[in-house]
Amino acid sequence: MESSELKRSKDSVNSCESARRSSFPDEVLERVLSLLKSHRDRSSVSLVCKDWYNAERWSRTHVFIGNCYSVSPEIVARRFPRIRSVTLKGKPRFSDFNLVPENWGADIHAWLVVFAAKYPFLEELRLKRMAISDESLEFLAVSFPNFKALSLLSCDGFSTNGLAAIATHCKNLTELDIQENGIDDIGGSWLSCFPESFTTLEVLNFANLTSDINFDMLEKLVGRCKSMRVLKLNRSVSLEQLQRLLVNAPQLAELGTGLFSQELTIREYEELESALSNCKNMHTLSGLWDATGMYLPALYLACTHLTFLNLSYAALQSVELAKLLAHCPQLKRLWVLDSVEDKGLEAVGLNCPLLEELRVFPADPFDNEIVHGVTEAGFVAVSFGCPRLHYVLYFCRQMTNAAVATIVQNCPDFTHFRLCIMNPGQPDYLTNEPMDEAFGAVVKTCTKLQRLSVSGLLTDLTFEYIGRYAKNLETLSVAFAGRSDWGMQCVLGGCPKLRKLEIRDCPFGNAALLSGLEKYESMRSLWMSACNVTMNGCRLLAREMPRLNVEARGGMPHHLSLLSEMLGTRQTENY
Amino acid sequence: MEGSGVGGSESGSMSTVSRDDNMVVSSEDSSCPDESELELGLGLSLGGKSGGFKMHQLSKGGQFARILTAKDFPSVISAASPSSSSSSSSSSLSRANVTAGTKRTADSVAAANGSSQVVGWPPIRAYRMNSMVNQEKNLAAEGFNSTMVNHKSETSMVEKTTAGIGKYQNNGNTKLRKSLFVKANMDGIPIGRKVDLNAHESYEKLAKTLEDMFLKTTSSVNPTGSMTLELGAMKKITRPSKLLDGSSDFVLTYEDREGDWMLVGDVPWEMFLSSVKRLRIMRTSEATGLAPQLQERNQRQK
């Protein structure tokens, strides 16, 4: 009797369980979910049910944290036990432009301490706008025996001594990527710290640094790292040295040259040209400091399969650019200085039909005394020739509503539209009207728009347009624009997918700030500086939204940095 | 050039305000202007009636024309507005700065290179700014040495062609020189241009370029897409270098390394290249100190 009862109850338990799990063992679910790479997909998956939440957290190997104050490292470690790769972003973006005070925070060390305990098998760390000291770098180097990849972008607080620690201790390093950081460049000896037995490096980017490195050591290092595919040199490496490196590394896919200007004999020139053209896999080219028409032809043969050309450190003239681009038919991404002027951009439109991304930086942003740079004409010319264009960053000194309307008509697929008319609050220079209609055209036409930076003279109408039409907008940057609270209210009331909003020098005040309470729950961050927000407004906000990190500087000008989401509380230090 | 971070390390308090805190507010909060001041309308000078910006259109072709002078902003705070018209566009900024808060003006003027700027604008990463500054310096330094360098590279090129190695052929006598950019201004036109002296081989060619730059309108792209060249009803220059022979209302002058203003054309071209700092198309009536040179030259040419 008992046994059959037992059996029945077991059966019923089994059938309950199997009904619940639909004969889908955890291991299988985990295996399937491990194929998911996108962190957004994973977030969605984890919300389905408890089993899926668990399967997802056990199968996740890479965690992306867009705002280091949104969550604590302990919580991350508790939820995801098997992380091998971490991406962390810290300071608000406006810290790149000196709008965030020193010692604001975003220090990596607390995270490293937790990781050392919970993720001793950590392999990759990618940081953006974090503060990282040499001590932290050394701690990192000795705490993780499997460590493979370090990428630092727009970080600060460290020196080349920290890099020396990495080179010395990380025996399995495959990637060292140092980009555009506030690094204290004491000297180049860090490079010599790689042991002679070390051969695993695949990515080496030290373009950020200025000091001389020991070229012999570099040559040997490159020679023995046969898997190297990305090599970005700094200015101290000459053309002749570049040639010697390339001879031993024709497999390179991404090359950043050193100084592209030197007295070469004919023979040296030819050797350089030959070495460059032997890099059959090269799809990305950068560096090219001080490049002039003289040696650019050496690149021609190497550019056949180039998809990304970064000339933003070479002040080329239009003719030089035109000649170069004639050899770059496959180009998808192009970064240039506005020294190429409209004529240079016409050449872009003529030669690069596959272009998807264009960035035009100002060579001389503060000189208002001369005619230079690019105008609306250049942008329009590119739009006619490059219908696939979807990412633009454009610094100019004049623009018209009509030109922008034409541009988006030609290129309706914009996902990133960042227009910077460099004189704040400047109207359409032909009609003298605000630039409202320009951005209206952008948001109405470009339905896929994810990121928008506005500039010029703008009334609240611009923001009405944005709120109403920009259904996919995630990031909005505003400066010297708007007329009243209404503008910001329109954005906060519309834009269903808004995640990051950064505002400086606009007449938006407390009413606008407080109109977005519901919105802030779904956003990553809000920045407001030099607006009409007051301390009391911030206090009200903090009181209404206890789960938000609200930070306000009482001094002038007002900084309000709203680091939202969930639970973290910032440890403020020196305030 | 990079202004110090706003608020930087000096005054200004920081409070983390959240429900659990006891509303910790530092004593320095009292330095915060009270709210009535903060409620000033910011940016109305920029966002306000477009009459705040007067557009002086120089020419029909829509050449650069954002010339604002102090008189466009009657209440501008003089501390932040420089006197030259070239920076007057930034005086509009200083007005906005004032309404935003008292310390703003100081911050924006603090920029090291002397012209009034807004902190963190244009939005370019500090790293890139530094690179550009260095680049400017390098180009400027190399410019003066380019003469020597050019000779060497010309020799190499000549060797190449005589040796008959085909690939790196240049057409004719195109010389590959480094650029030597100098600023050029014309009296009566507030916005100047930059000219690459090394792209010209003689005074005649230089003068022609300058005449093209300053005395003709530029082409413009019609927004509907067609390229229209708008040549204004300007006088076509039928004979070369009116600027050089003293027959026009203007003369071409240059500032040399010692800071003296000289008539262009008196010394050999190469020597000119090594001493010129910038160019100025001067009204003949103003070229008083140079008048004897002018007369001399006119006489010589007769």
| B67-103 pLDDT tens trace | 233 333 333 333 333 333 333 333 333 333 222 222 2
Q: Which amino acid does the sequence have at A26?
A: D
Q: Is B92 in Cβ contact with A425 (below 8 Å)?
A: yes
Q: Which amino acid does the sequence have at A367?
A: D
- What average pLDDT does the segment A508-530 reach? 91
Closest by Cα among B152, B151, B195, B158 to B173: B158
Mark which residues 522-551 of A lie under 8 Å from B by CB: 529-536, 538-539, 542-543, 546, 548-551
pLDDT confidence of residue A40 = 83
The token pair at A98 is 């000196």
| A362-384 pLDDT tens trace | 998 888 777 889 999 999 999 99
Q: For residue A196, give how far its alpha carbon lies from the nearest alpha carbon of chain B (Å).
A: 32
Secondary structure percentages of chain B, helix, strand, coil, to 5 = 40, 15, 45
Residues 6+ apart with CB under 8 A from A414: A389, A390, A391, A392, A408, A442, A446, A448, A449
pLDDT of residue A19 exceeding 60: no
Of A98, A457, A459, the CB nearest to B2: A98
pLDDT of residue A194 exceeding 70: yes
- What average pLDDT does the segment A451-456 reach? 98
Residue B168 and residue B204 in contact, taking contact as beta carbons nearer than 8 Å = no
Q: For residue B38, give how far its alpha carbon lies from the nearest alpha carbon of chain A (Å).
A: 6
Phi, psi of A152 (to 5 degrees): -125, 120
Count of all residues that appear for chain A in the document:
575
Q: How many CB atoms lie within 10 A of CB B198?
A: 18
**Longest CA pairwise span in chain B (Å):** 92
Average pLDDT, chain A: 90
Q: For residue B221, give how far its alpha carbon lies from the nearest alpha carbon of chain A (Å).
A: 6
Q: For residue A575, give how far its alpha carbon lies from the nearest alpha carbon of chain B (Å).
A: 6
- What average pLDDT does the segment B59-67 reach? 29
Of A458, A505, A555, the CB nearest to B11: A555
Q: For residue B42, give how far its alpha carbon lies from the nearest alpha carbon of chain A (Å).
A: 5
Of A208, A370, A384, the CB nearest to B225: A384
Q: Is B160 in Cβ contact with A368 (below 8 Å)?
A: no
- Would you call A154 an interface residue with chain B, using a CB distance cutoff of 8 Å? yes
Residue A315 and residue A337 in contact, taking contact as beta carbons nearer than 8 Å = yes
Selected for mutation to probe chain B from A70, A94, A98 (highest B CB count within 10 Å) is: A98
ipTM confidence: 0.86
Closest by Cα among A78, A189, A83 to A126: A83
- What average pLDDT does the segment A327-344 reach? 96
Q: Is A506 in Cβ contact with B100 (below 8 Å)?
A: no
| A319-329 pLDDT tens trace | 999 999 999 99
Q: Is A98 in Cβ contact with B35 (below 8 Å)?
A: no
pLDDT confidence of residue B117 = 66
Residue A298 and residue A324 in contact, taking contact as beta carbons nearer than 8 Å = no
